[in-house]
Amino acid sequence: MPESPALDLSRTQVSLVACFGTPQALDALEAGPPAPGRLDALRLAPDELMVVGEPGAAEDLVALAEARLSALDPGSLCVDVTDGWTVWTLTGEAWLEGFAMLSAIPLTGPGFAQGPVAEVPAKVVARSDRVHLLVPSCSEEHVRRRILAACADLGVHEASAPSEWTAPAAREARP
């Protein structure tokens, strides 16, 4: 049986919704995401939250988030930003070492962080067995090439099929 690569790179399909409102309204949305399922509520700033959901669910997520937020903050706004982002996922036994070759962001455990990855501003969602890198879509190919080059010594393998978003980070400890 062939040995699996130490590091896998795959693109992950998701829906992304940006929510803007008062910190109190976003606290309530973050505490209970707008819909059940495999969702994450990533707090980007006091007045900004990104909801990550299943592929193709952005329209429903916008409607659900708007309904919850508008009751708490009539001036809130929810927007589908899926097309503006690409999600790359590193898995395999060397995912943490591979990430360290791309960024100085310290990952001390599962959770969410923001900062430069492959010299591009990114959102980083670490799990116990992988890391999801949310990067601006205009940087998609640059980040892909940088991952493949920087992690070549780890035997990085680019998956042909997309991976799935994993369990909610909001329920895991943050780094």
> Are the C-beta atoms of residues 102 and 9 closer than 8 Å to each other?
no
> Are the C-beta atoms of residues 126 and 107 closer than 8 Å to each other?
yes
> Are the C-beta atoms of residues 118 and 143 closer than 8 Å to each other?
yes
Q: Sketch the domain layout of the chain as residue ranges.
A: 7-12+84-156, 15-83
Per-residue tokens: 70:
């508008």
Mean pLDDT of the chain: 89
Report d(CA 101, CA 60) in Å as an integer: 37
146 or 40, which is more confident? 146
- Candidate CATH numbers 3.40.50.920, 3.40.350.10, 3.30.1360.120, 3.20.20.80; the one for domain 7-12+84-156: 3.30.1360.120
Q: Which of 83, 29, 20 shows the shortest CA–CA distance to 55?
A: 83
pTM over 0.85: yes
Question: Is the pLDDT reported for residue 63 higher than 80?
Answer: yes
Show Cβ contacts of residue 56 under 8 Å, excluding neighbours closer than 6 positions: 15
Residues linked to residue 147 through DSSP beta bridges, in sequence order: none
What are the distances in angstroms from CA 173 to CA 58, 114, 126, 157, 161? Answer: 26, 15, 10, 29, 29
Residues linked to residue 122 through DSSP beta bridges, in sequence order: 115
Q: What is the mean pLDDT of residues 115-121?
A: 97
Q: What is the mean pLDDT of residues 13-26?
A: 96
**Hey, how many other C-beta atoms are within 10 angstroms of the C-beta on 27?**
14
Question: Is the pLDDT reported for residue 36 higher than 80?
Answer: no
162 or 86, which is more confident? 86
Report d(CA 104, CA 115) in Å as an integer: 9
> Are the C-beta atoms of residues 43 and 30 closer than 8 Å to each other?
yes
Q: Which CATH superfamily is domain 15-83 in?
A: Aminomethyltransferase beta-barrel domains (3.30.70.1400)
SS3 content of the chain, % helix, strand, coil (to 5): 30, 35, 35
Report d(CA 79, CA 69) in Å as an integer: 12
Question: Is the pLDDT reported for residue 113 higher than 50?
Answer: yes
